[in-house]
A and B are shown apart, each in its own frame.
Chain A
Amino acid sequence: MLKSQVLELERIRDDFPILKRKVKGKRLVYLDNAATTQKPRKVIDALVDYYERYNANAHRSLHTLGIEATEEFERSRRGAAEFIHASPKEIIFTRGTTESINLVRFAWAEEHVKKDDTILLTLMEHHSNIVPWQLVARRNGAKLKFIELDANGRLKMDEIEEEIERSPRLVAVTQCSNVLGTINDAARICRRARKAGSLSVIDGAQSVPHMPVSVSEVGCDFFAFSGHKMLGPTGIGVLYGRRELLEEMAPFQGGGEMIREVHLDGAKWNDVPYKFEAGTADIAGAIGLLAAIEYLSEIGMEKVRRHDVELLRYAIDTLKGIKGLQLYGPERAEERSGVVSFNLADVHPHDLATILDGEGVEIRSGHHCAQPLMEWLRVPATSRASFHVYNSYDDIDALKAGLEKAREVFRL
């Protein structure tokens, strides 16, 4: 058995209770981390601890429980800020990446994107970074422009730079493709955008869980990510927004918490970031996210990234050896995050996923909410294996064995 050169896998795997369960009588081999990751005991305990010991509403109640809940909720905000090198006032808690991007849509784009403005996107965007902009374009008469990819699934940088020269209103790009794994040079894109007077939105749903990310280094105006893809709970996510922009922006939703004063004839908005957090937040979710951030920070994001690269190299080499298997995305592990998409001969990804499930190997199959990318790849769907800290070489061997089984079942 090959051992990880980077992480103490046995200790890490022990931290994840779910990894002890069996699927179809087999060891659970969880390779669907780009969809959602499993949760370490530390995160589960943080949720239980909140509900058992200090459950109360944050920023409202003046009693002991309320003070404790508020303090932990705000400590989570500071933790999230520190994790991506931002200031706590620039951290807005949302339900996840999708809501974060939609917040930018409603609180900024609806007002500032005008007729004939251009919104620049790429062919590798997730639907959550396409559809909100289509809706803005439909309403405001703006145009969408999609940057193409090279044969290896990398963004055509010269093309995006050329388009940014034309000063689009908004540049919305993923830092990391959820299908190809391609890592984009977000810093270069945002630098150019800033120079051209364009605003930038970076989708960090697949990057923040897998590598060190600094929004100050990236230099973006907005940055979105989700808690549940980085060992945290579902229902919590973050939108980072540059302070000056947030100050000028209109609120997102109306309600409690987001106001300073309300009178019958109008209201004054609360300070940032609270102006954007109407209603009771997912307090438990934020506290769980902090536990996930602490867990990842204890390991170290540099190590998380190196572990990914190590697994990627092994996965690419292993899968290449399977007859009839087509791999998508950059060939070099260094150019991608822990995601491998593929197709096996004429076996449809859903059939493949079913056969692999019979072996306890859980992968994702389908269009991965990236149908424009599927069209570009000229496939209806792909299968996708994605890794996180608890995955091992053994998991990739199990994937290989499952794929060989699929070859048998389909008489390939």
Chain B
Amino acid sequence: MSAEIYKEIILDYYRHPRNYGKLENYDISARDTNPLCGDEVEMRIKVSDGGKIGEIKFQGKGCAISQASASMLTEFAKEKPLEWVKGLSKEDVLKLLGNPDLGPARIKCALLGMKVIKTGVYQYLGAKLDDLSAGE
């Protein structure tokens, strides 16, 4: 875990986050923070016909890893069925980030966005949050 994790793509999404903002018209809203470092991510989703993720936007503050991964996730999730979120895993997120070896201290930053989207979608689906941490 050192400078090598900061791939070009992470810096790009950190400085130019895609889908950044706040949906005014939404069905799902979730927010979470990482108490250790104060990273913060909030997501809002408009569910489209057929139970798919229609529009999705995020807001937040924190390190490059947490903000870039949240932004990438919003792009990745768009147009996917809500049920798809259940299968979302740590490996998916790491792949989006270019497969860096993040180490135990920073993996939580990378997974914050995934936790938020899962929390929101699970609540919407009325599902239990038990397997929320399954992906970690």
Binds B, one of A63-71, A85-93, A169-177, A343-351: A343-351
Contact of B5 among A354, A359, A365, A410 (CB under 8 A): A354
B11–A411 CB distance below 8 A? yes
**Distance A370 CA – B109 CA, assembled complex (angstroms):** 21
Contact of A358 among B3, B11, B62, B105 (CB under 8 A): B3
**Distance A410 CA – B3 CA, assembled complex (angstroms):** 9
**Does A381 touch B at the CB level, under 8 Å?**
yes
B11–A410 CB distance below 8 A? yes
Chain A stretch 352-402: residues in CB contact (< 8 A) with chain B? 354-355, 357-359, 365-367, 371, 380-381
- For chain B, give the interface size range: 20 to 34
Contact of A381 among B37, B64, B105 (CB under 8 A): B37
**Distance A73 CA – B58 CA, assembled complex (angstroms):** 56
Mark each residue of chain B from 30 to 52: 1 if its CB lies under 8 Å from any CB of chain A, else 0: 00000011110000000000000
Closest beta carbon of chain B to A73's beta carbon, Å? 35
B1–A358 CB distance below 8 A? yes
Known: A350-B109, A358-B1, A380-B61. A409 touches B6 (CB 8 A): yes
**Distance A208 CA – B1 CA, assembled complex (angstroms):** 35
A405–B38 CB distance below 8 A? no
**Distance A359 CA – B6 CA, assembled complex (angstroms):** 15
Q: Which B residues are CB-close (under 8 A) to A406?
A: 3
With both beta carbons as reference points, the residue of chain A lying nearest to B34 in the complex is identified as A350
B2–A355 CB distance below 8 A? yes
Closest beta carbon of chain A to B68's beta carbon, Å? 10
Chain B stretch 68-83: residues in CB contact (< 8 A) with chain A? none
**Distance A410 CA – B11 CA, assembled complex (angstroms):** 7
B106–A350 CB distance below 8 A? yes
Closest beta carbon of chain B to A398's beta carbon, Å? 14
**Distance A353 CA – B61 CA, assembled complex (angstroms):** 17
**Distance A350 CA – B68 CA, assembled complex (angstroms):** 14
**Distance A46 CA – B124 CA, assembled complex (angstroms):** 58
Closest beta carbon of chain A to B13's beta carbon, Å? 13
**Distance A354 CA – B37 CA, assembled complex (angstroms):** 13
With both beta carbons as reference points, the residue of chain A lying nearest to B67 in the complex is identified as A348
Q: Which B residues are CB-close (under 8 A) to A354?
A: 1-3, 5, 105-106
Closest beta carbon of chain B to A363's beta carbon, Å? 13
Q: Which A residues are CB-close (under 8 A) to B105?
A: 354
- For chain A, give the interface size range: 20 to 34
**Does B85 touch A at the CB level, under 8 Å?**
no
Chain A stretch 117-135: residues in CB contact (< 8 A) with chain B? none
A350–B3 CB distance below 8 A? no
Q: Which A residues are CB-close (under 8 A) to B1?
A: 354, 357-358
B65–A366 CB distance below 8 A? no
B37–A351 CB distance below 8 A? no
Known: A357-B1, A380-B62. A350 touches B37 (CB 8 A): yes
A355–B63 CB distance below 8 A? no
B37–A366 CB distance below 8 A? yes
Chain B stretch 1-43: residues in CB contact (< 8 A) with chain A? 1-6, 11, 15, 36-39
Known: A366-B37, A366-B38, A410-B11. A348 touches B2 (CB 8 A): no
**Does A24 touch B at the CB level, under 8 Å?**
yes
Most buried by A among B3, B6, B15: B3
A351–B36 CB distance below 8 A? no
* A-B residue pairs in contact (CB < 8 Å), sample of 9: A348-B62, A350-B37, A351-B63, A357-B2, A358-B1, A358-B3, A365-B37, A380-B62, A405-B3
The 4 closest A-B pairs by CB, nearest first: A358-B2, A348-B63, A350-B63, A409-B3
Interface residues of B (CB under 8 A from A): 1-6, 11, 15, 36-39, 61-65, 105-106, 109
Taking A358-B1, A381-B37 as known contacts, 10 extra A-B pairs with beta carbons closer than 8 A to each other, sorted by chain A number, are A349-B63, A350-B65, A350-B106, A351-B64, A354-B5, A359-B2, A380-B61, A381-B38, A410-B11, A411-B11
